[in-house]
């Protein structure tokens, strides 16, 4: 909604004198930006108002726990933190395996507030970090778009980004995840790159490296930056746009940025050793070669230069071939060709589902569907092409970057739903440019043709067009790209405008010819406003309804009011207070982070899926019959098993629905678990047609234990069927807690029975503690106690 | 002197808390004999057979026949004791008719307690009836714990101070109320989900007293008619939920006759292990109260499985002693009430307000079975003018309730923190009972010098302790403006800095 405001804002300032108008426009832009920030913050508070101020979902709980640790123990302890509460018995080195940006940011905010004696809890700070940073992100968008296409486009893009649903989905209050700060860092890094490119200032180049460092700290998506910027540099070189500004924008970034990136423990030497970073080094070399060539060209005569080129090219080709051969050999020698699994699945979308079930099992790693595009960026999808066209007229270094950014991010978003998040800012920027250009054209057309002000407009024509914020900056940009030597900060550039007047006058005449008919431009203007309104309505709906649920507390509306399902926290609170502090809890990895954070109990696997074998072990246990499962769990020192069951209340994302992934992941490591055993004619079912393996596996039993006694029929409301096996007893597990709506069920492993005379030998070999042994013994061997 | 009747115990269930084996019998037997012998010099002592001792616990042995000569000439002509065992807080109402048989007036009357009971004694109150017949009024008397040099077997005393000394030959009637916590011992100590909770109660059939008691009766009220066993000290009657011990006549000082009652008590035993109440005074008109609870079910420990299906389908037979909800009585005009724990809001609570009181019904996240724990926080705001007053000497004082607002709950340890506004001086607290006190400093929103916190600690509280206490302090209203002025000047400086930055050209090259 700020879009029409901003362009309309320019209108009343037309007839005052220039300096005052600039000042007034500046103040107005400042207040609009402030309002955009407030809107970006407040639209994300739906979750707090509708639910409560609480950390959402899965990963944020881990980040919250790390932040708590940081706040309590300080930064040095944090770097050295070995977490023994997770991945039992392996543990996890937290300090060296997390992207610390988010945690450090929230920890710093908390520390700052507390040293000002504002006693906010760590939780409160964590909950509101994401909304605060989305306000920052919208301001960064303003800066970036302003560098590309002027203030009007900047304000429009900032307003669009402040409420784009794709970004809201990851940054509502409580969604305390890396992306919350990373998107800000991403946009800000791009802004500083463009700013350096436009000004050629080494100051901004340094800032750019620091912003890049912050991005590396925050999110693994930094590889997008370190590949996109080299691509743009290459594009500039290829299209003959090499300049010293380009060199200053890129070379310090690679050198400083790589050094800084290597400081982050989780990246470390990866910053120079993995293929994701190689492109930047290659372009770095190319840039230097090109710069050298330009230098040589400057000091040699054209004839000499030609000779030199042939000489160098022939020698250079040979050297290049050798270097490339070495590189290829190096890369090929590493098993994944130097690429990590997630990155490979970006290049080859089918890679993950083929080879890594654990990556494929996460819904956010799936390719998006068309409706999800409409859901996440809504009308922006239609405005993006217009914005790309607007970027081409005229094509500057900055606008070519935006085009490249949107092109690559469209590809990546098509690979993985999660990367819609990278695409959203690009879409907002291009749409902002498109909207603002369209408004510009339409309002100008109206202005020239309105009879009342036509005569005055005639006189003021030159001034009018140059003073509309967008047009003005356009011209400045165009000027700047032509004359490379005079690079001054934009603060001073205002004084320069007066000198450019003759030139702009000519341009204004040209633009006058492009004016559209009055009625059509009025209608188009109205339609554009309508489109904007639709977008706002959709965004508010998405923020309020679709993306605000914290997913740990569920609500359902029925005829007798709101019903709250708070089963997860009920179970976690029970575990926290009524089990021994060192007890180990086994569950599917989805609930690992929550269990450690909310219940403070040791888990076997969690959402940081770094050890596939370990996860496969739990998957195998869940898909094994009771006895074998008991042995696996017992070997892992597990005391409680937690399953999520939605059959009573119809909660669809429960463990039975995730069960096939457990089978697949388990079967991937332990071949005796075979997926077809759990499927009847290729269909996954739990009713009377289900396979005996399915009906006897631990997950089935723990989910449906005594379920039949609730309604007498054992009707599963998620699968919409009666279950296959209704009456059975548990021999190795006992139910110790089931939540109010049965959504979480906790079982305790029964203690091992006393040895029976004559079976001493056998049971000794059974209780051997290595998990693989236990598993092997669990495959189909007879139960010695029955 | 009349020969007292030999005491008999009637035990239905042959399981005692301390199982006496042959070894222990032979070990204790000579001791019992010895103790009988040493005291048998007094002719009033009952000849007690050693076999009856075996039913008594070891501790009760210590007080069995101990006596010392009280230095007073008081005697109790009639004593009636009513023990209420219906909840987990044991309430004892004692009516004493005290007679001064000596020659000197006295105003001090001693109450005696065995040391095991003193540990669980939460409060002692004494009232004296004044006036005649229908126009009786009750007046509260001072009661203080007293140490006596010749206390037999560690008997502890409380002294009741009469307002008017009791002259020779006069008599007065005292109403004494005292409460015990943690005095019902679950037996069996662990029960399954479907079992009902049985508890032991230990006391004496005779009132332990340093005075001669002419006539005494004890009534016990159990929550249900289900009584597994009880000690008989004839005459003993049981009818419905009431048991009557006595009347016993002419018992000498320090006579003790242990009884053990094993009965069903299915009421949940909510025990707050630790409660921290923080009362923060803001002179802008709000009183913010934050209460942090660590709640535990103090009854028989839960054993084995917890089956939700049984619990939900048969609530009358399953988990009858489980703690399903709690009721907190809050002051009227309460606002912004919240109920949460360390992982977020707990949605199961209801607030009912009317003009005289507010009731907050809270459910823990899960039903609490014996031994299960839960922690939670209740917070609410109150209008300041209801609780803050100005005293005559130009000081202000806060008048607030001390104890725990949860009904029928025992608090093991209570810490009350009164956070005075920044800049207040000379705090002093007036509490109707003894508490440990000290001062702290707390830094809250934008504080510079910090707020004075008056900390009061007390152990073993029952709802009777919900009386008012006062905290006096001096405060100058000008301090209220400190923080707004600070903020205003900070913003002013920020804007000045912005203006200065915009108007100063810092570039080296012009």
Cα separation, A512 vs A520, in Å, equals 16
Question: What DSSP element (H or E) covers A537?
Answer: helix A518-541
Phi, psi of B247 (to 5 degrees): -75, 140
Question: What DSSP element (H or E) covers A782?
Answer: none
Residue B2 falls within a domain, yes or no?
Answer: no
Q: How far is CA A457 from the centre of its chain?
A: 48
Phi, psi of B49 (to 5 degrees): -80, 145
Q: Are B290 and B194 in the same domain?
A: no
User: In the prediction, which pLDDT does B56 show?
Assistant: 43
Q: Are B428 and B461 in the same domain?
A: yes
Residue B22 falls within a domain, yes or no?
Answer: yes
pLDDT tens profile B118-157: 888 888 888 887 766 666 777 888 888 888 887 778 888 8
pLDDT tens profile A146-157: 999 889 999 999
Question: What DSSP element (H or E) covers A395?
Answer: none
> What count of residues does chain A have?
786
Residues B320/B363, Cβ–Cβ less than 8 Å:
no
Cα separation, A691 vs A659, in Å, equals 14
The token duo for A254 is: 């690679």
More confident residue, B417 or A770: B417
Q: What is the CA radius of gyration of chain A?
A: 31
Q: Is the pLDDT of residue A434 over 80?
A: yes
- What predicted TM-score, i.e. pTM, was given to this entire model? 0.82
Rounded alpha-carbon distances, angstroms, from residue B373 to A580, A747, B345? 12, 19, 17
Residues A237/A288, Cβ–Cβ less than 8 Å:
no
Nearest 10 degrees: CA dihedral of A529, A533, A539, A541?
A: -170
Rounded alpha-carbon distances, angstroms, from residue B66 to A212, B45, B113, B211? 85, 10, 13, 13
pLDDT tens profile B375-393: 999 999 999 998 999 888 8
Q: Is the pLDDT of residue A784 over 50?
A: no
- Residue listed under structure tokens 């008594």: B56
User: In the prediction, which pLDDT does A690 show?
Assistant: 84
Residues A253/A212, Cβ–Cβ less than 8 Å:
yes
pLDDT tens profile B249-295: 888 888 888 899 999 888 888 999 999 999 999 988 899 999 999 99
Q: Is the pLDDT of residue B103 over 70?
A: yes
User: In the prediction, which pLDDT does A482 show?
Assistant: 42
- Residue A595 carries which DSSP code? I
Of A30-34, A100-104, A296-300, A509-513, minimum mean pLDDT range: A509-513
- Residue listed under structure tokens 């917070």: B379
- Would an 8 Å CB–CB cutoff place B372 in contact with chain A? yes
Q: Is the pLDDT of residue A140 over 90?
A: yes
Band of residue A293 on the pLDDT scale cut at 50, 70, 90: confident
Cα separation, B463 vs B275, in Å, equals 13
Q: For residue B166, what are the β-bridge partners? A: B106
Distance from CA of A500 to the nearest CA of B (A): 21
Residue B61 falls within a domain, yes or no?
Answer: yes
Average pLDDT of A25-50? 92
Q: Do A738 and B307 touch (CB under 8 A)?
A: yes
Residue B431 falls within a domain, yes or no?
Answer: yes
Distance from CA of A564 to the nearest CA of B (A): 7
User: In the prediction, which pLDDT does A145 show?
Assistant: 93
- Residue listed under structure tokens 């823990």: B364
Q: Are B239 and B276 in the same domain?
A: no
Residue of A564, A734, A736 lying closest to B347 (CB–CB)? A564
Of A308-312, A749-753, B150-154, B469-473, minimum mean pLDDT range: B150-154
Between A and B, how many residue pairs show a Cβ–Cβ distance under 8 A? Answer: 74
Q: Is the pLDDT of residue B309 over 60?
A: yes
The token duo for B495 is: 């804007």
pLDDT tens profile A167-202: 998 899 988 989 889 999 999 999 999 999 999 899
Q: Are B184 and B281 in the same domain?
A: no
More confident residue, A339 or A363: A363
Mean pLDDT of chain B: 81
Chain A (697-756) residues lying within 8 Å, Cβ to Cβ, of chain B:
706, 709-710, 734-740, 742
B188 preceded by a cis bond (ω within 30 of 0): yes
Number of Cβ within 10 Å of residue A24's Cβ equals 15
Give the end of a domain, one of B264, B285, B317. B264
User: In the prediction, which pLDDT does B325 show?
Assistant: 87
Band of residue A348 on the pLDDT scale cut at 50, 70, 90: low
User: In the prediction, which pLDDT does B253 show?
Assistant: 85
- DSSP readout, A683-734? EE--STTS-HHHHHBHHHHHHHTTTHHHHSS-EETTTTEE-S------SSEE
Cα separation, A440 vs A434, in Å, equals 10
Q: Are B275 and B256 in the same domain?
A: no
Cα separation, A169 vs A44, in Å, equals 9
Of B384, B408, B414, B412, which is closest to residue B398 (Cα–Cα)?
B384
Per CB-CB distance under 8 Å, the chain B contacts of A552 are 344
More confident residue, B467 or A347: B467
Mean pLDDT of chain A: 82
Q: Are B183 and B211 in the same domain?
A: yes
User: In the prediction, which pLDDT does B69 show?
Assistant: 43
Cα separation, B236 vs B205, in Å, equals 9
Instruction: Work out the angle between the directed axes of helices A501-513 and A451-467 (0-180°, nearest 10).
Output: 130
Of A521-525, B149-153, B167-171, B234-238, minimum mean pLDDT range: B149-153
Question: What DSSP element (H or E) covers A625?
Answer: none
Cα separation, B100 vs B106, in Å, equals 8
- Would an 8 Å CB–CB cutoff place A364 in contact with chain B? no
pLDDT tens profile A701-746: 898 888 888 888 888 888 888 888 888 888 889 999 999 888 999 9
User: In the prediction, which pLDDT does B249 show?
Assistant: 87
Nearest 10 degrees: CA dihedral of A496, A497, A503, A505?
A: -160
Average pLDDT of B57-76? 50
The token duo for A60 is: 């944020």
Q: Is the pLDDT of residue A643 over 80?
A: yes
Cα separation, A454 vs A444, in Å, equals 11
H helix intervals, A564-696 = 567-578, 592-594, 612-623, 626-635, 655-669, 692-696
Average pLDDT of B68-92? 80
Cα separation, A252 vs B499, in Å, equals 33
Number of Cβ within 10 Å of residue A82's Cβ equals 10
The token duo for B207 is: 């009132």
Q: Do A739 and B372 touch (CB under 8 A)?
A: no
Q: Are B125 and B259 in the same domain?
A: yes
Residues A204/A192, Cβ–Cβ less than 8 Å:
yes
Cα separation, A702 vs A735, in Å, equals 9
Q: Do A738 and B306 touch (CB under 8 A)?
A: yes
Q: How far is CA B132 from the centre of its chain?
A: 33
Burial class (CB in 10 A: 0-12, 13-18, 19+), A386: middle
Band of residue A517 on the pLDDT scale cut at 50, 70, 90: confident
Cα separation, B288 vs B282, in Å, equals 8
Chain B (9-48) residues lying within 8 Å, Cβ to Cβ, of chain A:
none
Q: Is the pLDDT of residue A498 over 50?
A: no
Cα separation, A678 vs B179, in Å, equals 63
User: In the prediction, which pLDDT does B246 show?
Assistant: 78
A76's CB contacts (< 8 A; 6+ apart) are none
Residues B333/B304, Cβ–Cβ less than 8 Å:
no
A344 preceded by a cis bond (ω within 30 of 0): no
Average pLDDT of A657-673? 87
Band of residue A352 on the pLDDT scale cut at 50, 70, 90: low
Q: Determine the 3-state secondary structure of B352 from DSSP.
A: strand
Band of residue A57 on the pLDDT scale cut at 50, 70, 90: confident
Residues A170/A177, Cβ–Cβ less than 8 Å:
yes
Residue of B305, B309, B366 lying closest to A574 (CB–CB)? B366
Structural domain span for residue B127: 7-264
Number of Cβ within 10 Å of residue A786's Cβ equals 6
Residue B505 falls within a domain, yes or no?
Answer: no
End-to-end CA distance of chain A: 72
Number of Cβ within 10 Å of residue A323's Cβ equals 12
Cα separation, A208 vs A197, in Å, equals 11
The token duo for A545 is: 């309804």
Q: Are B17 and B65 in the same domain?
A: yes
Q: Is the pLDDT of residue B54 over 50?
A: no
User: In the prediction, which pLDDT does B38 show?
Assistant: 35
A50's CB contacts (< 8 A; 6+ apart) are A544, A548
Residue B491 falls within a domain, yes or no?
Answer: no
A317's CB contacts (< 8 A; 6+ apart) are none
- The percent of residues in chain B predicted with pLDDT above 70, rounded, is 85
B333 Rama sector, left if φ>0, alpha if ψ -120 to 50, beta otherwise: left
Phi, psi of A81 (to 5 degrees): -70, 120
Cα separation, B202 vs B128, in Å, equals 28
Determine which of A117, A647, A708 to mutate to test the interface with B (most B C-beta atoms within 10 Å).
A117
Cα separation, B273 vs A508, in Å, equals 81
* Number of domains composing chain B: 2
The token duo for A293 is: 């060539």
- The percent of residues in chain B predicted with pLDDT above 90, rounded, is 20
Determine which of B272, B308, B340 to mutate to test the interface with A (most A C-beta atoms within 10 Å).
B308
Give the end of a domain, one of B237, B264, B291. B264
Q: Determine the 3-state secondary structure of B95 from DSSP.
A: strand
Cα separation, A591 vs A641, in Å, equals 11
Give the end of a domain, one of B211, B239, B264. B264
Of B12-16, B282-286, B313-317, minimum mean pLDDT range: B12-16
Q: Are B157 and B280 in the same domain?
A: no
Cα separation, B376 vs B293, in Å, equals 5
Cα separation, A672 vs B324, in Å, equals 46
- Residue listed under structure tokens 């379920």: A707
- Residue listed under structure tokens 């709950």: B409
A715's CB contacts (< 8 A; 6+ apart) are A721, A722, A723
Of B251, B254, B90, which is closest to residue B156 (Cα–Cα)?
B254
User: In the prediction, which pLDDT does A42 show?
Assistant: 93
Average pLDDT of A258-263? 92
Residue of A570, A577, A740 lying closest to B372 (CB–CB)? A577
Q: Do B446 and A116 touch (CB under 8 A)?
A: yes
Q: Are B363 and B238 in the same domain?
A: no
Per CB-CB distance under 8 Å, the chain B contacts of A643 are none
Q: Are B185 and B47 in the same domain?
A: yes
Q: Are B391 and B457 in the same domain?
A: yes
Residue B499 falls within a domain, yes or no?
Answer: no
**What CATH number is given to the structural domain containing B58?**
2.60.40.1730
Residue B497 falls within a domain, yes or no?
Answer: no
């Amino acid at each position: 909604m700020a879009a029409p405001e901003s362009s309309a804002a320019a209108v009343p300032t037309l007839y005052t004198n220039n300096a005052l108008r600039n000042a007034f426009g500046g103040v107005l832009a400042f207040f609009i930006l402030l309002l955009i920030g407030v809107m970006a913050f407040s639209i994300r508070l739906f979750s707090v108002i509708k639910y409560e101020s609480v950390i959402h979902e899965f990963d944020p709980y881990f980040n919250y726990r790390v932040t708590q640790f940081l706040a309590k123990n300080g930064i040095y302890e944090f770097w050295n933190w070995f977490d023994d509460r997770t991945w039992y018995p392996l543990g996890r080195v937290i300090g060296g395996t997390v992207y610390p940006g988010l945690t450090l940011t929230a920890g710093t905010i908390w520390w700052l507030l507390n040293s000002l004696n504002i006693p906010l809890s760590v939780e409160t700070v964590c909950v509101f970090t994401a909304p605060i940073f989305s306000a920052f992100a919208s301001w960064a968008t303003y800066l970036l778009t302003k560098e590309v296409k002027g203030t009007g486009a900047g304000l429009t893009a900032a307003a669009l980004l402040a409420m784009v649903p794709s970004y809201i989905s990851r940054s509502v209050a409580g969604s305390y995840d890396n992306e919350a700060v990373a998107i800000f860092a991403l946009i800000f890094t791009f802004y500083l790159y463009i700013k350096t490119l436009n000004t050629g200032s080494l100051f901004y180049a340094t800032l750019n490296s620091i912003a890049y460092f912050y991005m590396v700290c925050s999110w693994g998506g930094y590889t997008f930056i370190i590949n996109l910027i080299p691509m743009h540099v290459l594009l500039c070189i290829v299209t003959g746009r090499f300049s010293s500004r380009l060199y200053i924008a890129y070379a310090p970034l690679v050198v400083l940025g790589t050094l800084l990136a290597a400081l982050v423990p989780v990246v470390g030497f990866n910053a120079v050793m993995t293929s994701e970073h190689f492109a930047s080094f290659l372009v770095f070399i190319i840039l230097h070669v090109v710069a050298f060539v330009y230098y040589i060209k400057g000091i040699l005569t054209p004839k000499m230069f030609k000779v030199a080129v042939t000489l160098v090219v022939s020698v250079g080709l040979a050297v290049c071939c050798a270097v490339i051969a070495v590189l290829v050999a190096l890369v090929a020698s590493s098993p994944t060709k130097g690429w990590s699994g997630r990155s490979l699945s970006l290049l080859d979308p089918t890679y993950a589902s083929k080879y890594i079930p654990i990556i494929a099992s996460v819904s956010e790693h799936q390719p998006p569907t068309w409706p999800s595009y409409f859901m996440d960026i809504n009308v922006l999808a239609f405005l993006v092409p217009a914005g790309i066209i607007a970027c081409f007229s005229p094509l500057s270094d900055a606008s070519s970057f935006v085009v490249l950014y949107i092109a690559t991010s469209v590809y990546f978003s098509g690979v993985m739903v999660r990367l819609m998040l990278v695409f959203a800012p690009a879409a907002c920027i291009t749409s902002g440019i498109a909207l603002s250009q369209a408004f510009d054209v339409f309002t100008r057309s109206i202005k020239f043709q309105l009879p009342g002000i036509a005569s005055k407009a005639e006189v003021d024509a030159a001034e009018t067009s140059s003073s509309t914020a967008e047009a003005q900056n356009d011209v400045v940009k165009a000027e700047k790209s032509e004359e490379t030597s005079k690079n001054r900060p934009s603060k001073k550039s205002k004084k320069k405008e007066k000198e450019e007047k003759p030139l702009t006058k000519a341009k204004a005449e040209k633009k006058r010819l492009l004016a559209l008919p009055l009625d059509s431009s009025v209608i188009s203007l109205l339609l554009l406003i309508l489109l904007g309104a639709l977008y706002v309505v959709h965004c508010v709906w998405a923020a309020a309804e679709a993306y605000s649920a914290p997913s740990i507390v569920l609500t359902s509306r029925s005829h007798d009011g709101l019903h709250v399902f708070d089963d997860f926290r009920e179970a976690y609170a029970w575990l926290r207070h009524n089990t021994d502090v060192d007890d180990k809890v086994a569950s599917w990895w989805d609930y690992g982070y929550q269990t450690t954070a909310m219940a403070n109990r040791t888990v076997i696997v969690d959402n940081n899926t770094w050890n596939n074998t370990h996860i496969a072990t739990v998957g195998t246990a869940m898909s094994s019959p009771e006895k074998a499962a008991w042995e696996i769990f017992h070997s892992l020192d597990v005391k409680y098993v937690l399953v999520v069951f939605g059959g009573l209340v119809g909660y669809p994302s429960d463990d039975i629905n995730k069960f096939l992934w457990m089978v697949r992941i388990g079967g991937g490591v332990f071949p005796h678990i075979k997926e077809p055993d759990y499927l009847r004619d290729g269909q996954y079912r739990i009713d009377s047609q289900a396979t005996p393996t399915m009906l006897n596996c631990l997950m089935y039993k723990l989910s449906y234990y005594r379920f039949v006694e609730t309604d007498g029929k054992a009707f599963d409301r998620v699968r919409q069927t009666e279950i296959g096996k209704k009456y059975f007893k548990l021999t190795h597990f006992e139910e110790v807690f089931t939540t109010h709506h049965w959504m979480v069920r906790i079982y305790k492993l029964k203690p091992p029975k006393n040895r029976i005379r004559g079976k001493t030998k056998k049971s000794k070999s059974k209780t051997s503690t290595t998990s693989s042994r236990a598993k092997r013994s669990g495959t189909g061997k007879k139960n010695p106690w029955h | 002197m009349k020969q007292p009747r030999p005491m008999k115990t009637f035990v239905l269930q042959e399981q005692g808390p301390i199982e006496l084996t042959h070894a222990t019998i032979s070990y204790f037997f000579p001791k019992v004999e010895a103790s009988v012998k040493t005291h048998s010099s007094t002719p009033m002592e009952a000849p007690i057979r050693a076999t009856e001792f075996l039913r008594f616990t070891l501790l009760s042995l210590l007080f069995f026949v101990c006596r010392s000569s009280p230095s007073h000439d008081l005697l109790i002509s009639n004593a009636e004791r009513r023990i209420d065992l219906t909840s987990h807080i044991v309430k004892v109402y004692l009516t004493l008719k005290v007679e001064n048989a000596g020659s000197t007036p006295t105003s001090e009357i001693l109450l005696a307690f065995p040391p095991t009971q003193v540990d669980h004694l939460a409060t002692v109150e004494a009232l004296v009836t004044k006036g005649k017949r229908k126009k009786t009024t009750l007046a509260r008397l001072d009661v203080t714990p007293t140490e006596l040099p010749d206390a037999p077997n560690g008997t502890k005393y409380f002294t009741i101070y009469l307002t008017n000394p009791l002259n020779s030959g006069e008599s007065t009637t005292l109403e004494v109320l005292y409460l015990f916590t943690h005095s019902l011992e679950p037996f069996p100590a662990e029960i399954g989900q479907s079992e009902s909770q049985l508890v032991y109660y230990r006391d004496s059939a005779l009132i332990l007293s340093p005075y001669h008691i002419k006539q005494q009766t004890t009534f016990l009220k159990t929550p249900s008619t289900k009584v597994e066993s009880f000690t008989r000290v004839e005459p003993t009657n049981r009818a419905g939920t009431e048991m009557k011990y006595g009347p016993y006549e002419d018992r000498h000082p320090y006579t003790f006759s242990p009884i053990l009652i094993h009965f069903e008590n299915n009421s949940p035993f909510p025990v707050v292990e630790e409660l921290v109440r923080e009362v923060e005074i803001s002179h802008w008109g709000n009183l913010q109260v934050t209460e942090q609870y660590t709640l535990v079910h103090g009854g028989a420990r839960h054993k084995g499985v917890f089956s939700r299906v049984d619990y939900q389908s048969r609530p009358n037979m399953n988990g009858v002693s489980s703690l399903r909800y709690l009721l907190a009585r809050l002051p009227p005009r309460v606002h912004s009430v919240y109920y949460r724990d360390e992982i977020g809001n707990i949605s199961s609570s209801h607030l009912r307000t009317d003009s005289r009181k507010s009731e907050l019904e809270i459910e823990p996240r899960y039903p609490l079975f014996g031994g299960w724990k839960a922690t939670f926080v209740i917070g609410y705001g109150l209008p300041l003018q209801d609780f803050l007053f100005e005293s005559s000497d130009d000081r202000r004082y806060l008048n607030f309730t001390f104890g725990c607002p949860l009904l029928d709950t025992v608090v093991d340890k209570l810490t009350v923190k009164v956070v005075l506004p920044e800049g207040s001086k000379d705090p002093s607290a007036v509490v109707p009972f003894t508490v440990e006190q000290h001062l702290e400093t707390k830094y809250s929103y934008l504080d510079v010098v910090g707020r004075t916190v008056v900390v009061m600690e007390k152990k073993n509280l029952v709802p009777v302790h919900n009386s008012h206490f006062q905290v006096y302090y001096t405060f100058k209203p000008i301090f209220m403006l400190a923080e707004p002025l600070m903020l205003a000047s900070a913003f002013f400086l920020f804007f000045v800095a912005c203006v200065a930055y915009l108007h100063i050209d810092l570039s080296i090259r012009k």
